[in-house]
Amino acid sequence: MNEMKQLLLDRIENKTAVVAVIGLGYVGLPLAVEKAKAGYRTIGFDVQKEKVDMVNKGKNYIGDVVDRDLEEIVKAGMLSATSDFSIVSGADFIAICVPTPLDDYKQPDISYVENSTVEISKYLQPGTIVVLESTTYPGTTEELLLPILEEGSGLKCGVDFYLAFSPERVDPGNLLYKTKNTPKVVGGVGKDATEIAAAMYRSVLEGEIFEASSPRVAEMEKILENTYRNINIGLANEMAIICNKMGIDIWEVIEAAKTKPYGFQAFYPGPGLGGHCIPLDPYYLSWKAREYDYHTQLIETSGIINDAMPGYVIERCSHILNRFKKPLNGSKILILGVAYKQDIDDYRESPALKVIENFNSFGAEVEFFDPFIREYRYKGEVFIGLSALSAEIIHEKDLVVVTTAHTNVDYEWIQKNSKYIFDTKNAMKNVIVRDNIEKL
């Protein structure tokens, strides 16, 4: 074993390694907190001064982080934050946890990863390991990061520094699996990088650490995880459309299918896909596959189905309103929930925002209420929701549309005070009186 590798492994084992986390969002802050709680001096970097200031004050802004944990590790000096990239010069382990969105043409926007890597390369020191956690297309670590780091630092990967990919697995609002206990996959550029990265994660996390043979395998497995869900949700959505035409309850169909103890996993329809992974990740693969003269037909088809669901919701709502001789134009609509999933305050890629946009385009008068989200920003505009619901507010609406199945909403009360409800999430499944409820 070479001296540089052994020194880094020793620092990981005796907790003297310094950790830098680039990006303090939904992935980066929970990771930084876990590193610090495990006994590593951790420095977080973010370009947003507000986040840096909040972390340094011990104030939490991420639902999956325990307020007291953050406060204690900041007070103990184990975690601090900065906007100064030069801090990575003193780090032994650098994790990149920045956004990887799609652009307007649904092509990967790797600019955050690229810019972060360029900055890291200016301060990269021998004996450091860099790990990319941001979800991306297969090949990013070796084709993009590796040459940038080598050219910017003058160092050689595998000789002077180590490089690996370990995809984030963050599920906001999940009460069972958090960063701490979720299994992790690691794939390094060379066996030494994989071993070192795995050693660090094993010293911090409780979940199993799977060592992949390369970054490309680790990158592809992350895409597979979310493409699997994307395609199966697309199937559920298409089944919902077919079942509606045939007068069959898709929700009962799924409950019946769930009784099979093997060969079936339940996925549910809804107003579309949301979040930072499922709606985006398949497009990374579709884009990369074209380089190999291959079109991902199944993946692209599921994307078409899922992307069309907000429009389908409007179509169904227009049919409901027509029964009451009401056009979309001028109808009063209440949207219940703008978060992309239940019981969280995250509205990234939420289909509810597109549903609202579509209603507005038809001239409907739309208001929203979400117990977790008071306002949201969409396409440069800020939309402010109702601070509370009243019987009068609900009753004056021509239609209530449930787009998020928050569990802290009194759906029986909603039903009693609504003229009519379109429930896209089966959130009202336990409501007994159903004569004014229609499900997706």
Q: Would you tell me how many other CB atoms lie within 10 Å of the CB of residue 380?
A: 5
How many CA atoms, within 13 angstroms, populate the side-chain half-sphere of residue 130? 32
DSSP calls for 370-396: -TT-SEEEETTEEEE--S---HHHHHT
How far apart CA 57 and CA 61 sit, in angstroms, is: 12
Q: Distances in Å between the alpha carbon of 310 and those of 239, 314, 420?
A: 16, 7, 19
How far apart CA 27 and CA 30 sit, in angstroms, is: 6
How far apart CA 120 and CA 333 sit, in angstroms, is: 49
**Residue 273 φ/ψ, nearest 5 degrees:** -105, 145
The pLDDT of residue 400 = 97
Sorted by sequence, the CB contacts under 8 Å of residue 316 that are 6+ apart come out as 244, 422, 438, 440
Question: For the structural domain made of 3-213, what CATH number should be given?
Answer: 3.40.50.720
CA dihedral 88, 90, 91, 92 (to 10 degrees): 140
How far apart CA 27 and CA 135 sit, in angstroms, is: 11
For β-strands 399-402 and 332-336, DSSP reports them as parallel
The single residue of 97, 157, 277, 317 carrying the catalytic annotation is: 277
How far apart CA 45 and CA 167 sit, in angstroms, is: 19
What token pair was written down for 201? 């994660």
> Greatest CA separation found in the chain?
79
Q: What is the pLDDT along the chain (440 residues), one digit of tens a residue?
A: 688 999 999 999 999 999 999 999 989 999 999 999 999 999 999 999 999 999 999 999 988 888 899 999 999 999 999 999 998 999 999 999 999 988 877 788 999 999 999 999 999 999 999 999 999 999 999 999 999 999 999 999 999 999 999 999 888 888 888 888 999 999 999 999 999 999 999 999 998 999 999 999 999 999 999 999 999 999 999 999 999 999 999 999 999 999 999 999 999 999 999 887 777 888 888 888 999 999 999 999 999 999 999 999 999 999 999 999 999 999 999 999 999 999 999 999 999 999 999 999 999 999 999 999 999 999 989 999 999 999 999 999 999 999 999 999 999 999 999 999 999 999 999 999 999 999 99
**3-213 and 239-439 have identical folds:** yes
Single-letter amino acid, residue 6: Q
How far apart CA 215 and CA 245 sit, in angstroms, is: 46
Single-letter amino acid, residue 400: V
Q: What is the DSSP letter of 143?
A: I
H helix runs in 247-324, sequence order: 250-257, 281-289, 297-307, 309-323
> Would you list the domain boundaries of the chain?
3-213, 239-439
Active site residue 277: yes
Single-letter amino acid, residue 248: I
Sorted by sequence, the CB contacts under 8 Å of residue 144 that are 6+ apart come out as 110, 113, 114, 117
The SS3 assignment for 397 reads coil
How far apart CA 343 and CA 371 sit, in angstroms, is: 9
Name which CATH class applies to 239-439: alpha beta
Among residues 23, 68, 71, 29, the alpha carbon closest in space to that of 47 is found at 23
The pLDDT of residue 1 = 63
Angle (CA) 95-101-102 rounded to 5° is 145
